[in-house]
Amino acid sequence: MRSRIFLYLFIFAVLYIIFQYANAKGVYENQESQIENLKLNVERYKSENDSLINVALESQKFTLSSNAYASEYFSERGVTPEEIEVLIEDAIIGRNKADADNDLVPYEGMEGFMRINSIKVINNKWILANFTDGTYWGDLLLDYYISEEGELTLTTKDQVLYPKYD
């Protein structure tokens, strides 16, 4: 009788150990797969981050201050690129009116008045600008010229209005 109890206890202990081993092995494999997935995510995010940094660096090439030829054009006239950018931005954003469309935008506002939101001076000749009426959005390519007297002339060269998606 006593030997049978020890035999049952031994069998129970062996079954318990096998159960614990199988359970621990499953948990370990699950954790290993999660670690592998997280490592893949980290690598993917690092590559996306590197791509975003590269895009940001590439976009810096198309600025007035990073364009040596355009900067030289203005420095010969005794003006810095930063002063030109401020002058242009003030002139363009100053054309936004509370009760009318901006005259540089060749579209009439459908849901409000068309206003220019932001600009980017590319070089000594061109400006990129985006505009909206609150619902519809678009982009402009503007041509500018600054006379010897300091007068700014702006001309809309091309534009695009994006369709509204619901």
Given a contact cutoff of 8 angstroms between Cβ atoms, the answer to whether 124 and 68 are in contact is no
* φ, ψ for residue 80, nearest 5 deg: -90, 155
Prediction pTM value: 0.60
* Residue from 110, 115, 120 nearest 163 by CA: 110
Segments making up each domain of the chain, as ranges: 1-59, 68-161
133, 113 Cβ separation under 8 angstroms: yes
Give residue 4's region: left, alpha or beta (phi > 0; psi -120 to 50). alpha
Please state the length of the chain. Answer: 166
pLDDT along the chain (166 residues), means of 10: 83 90 89 93 84 70 74 80 86 84 82 87 88 88 86 88 77
Q: What is the pLDDT of residue 61?
A: 67
Per-residue confidence (pLDDT) for residue 59, from 0 to 100: 63
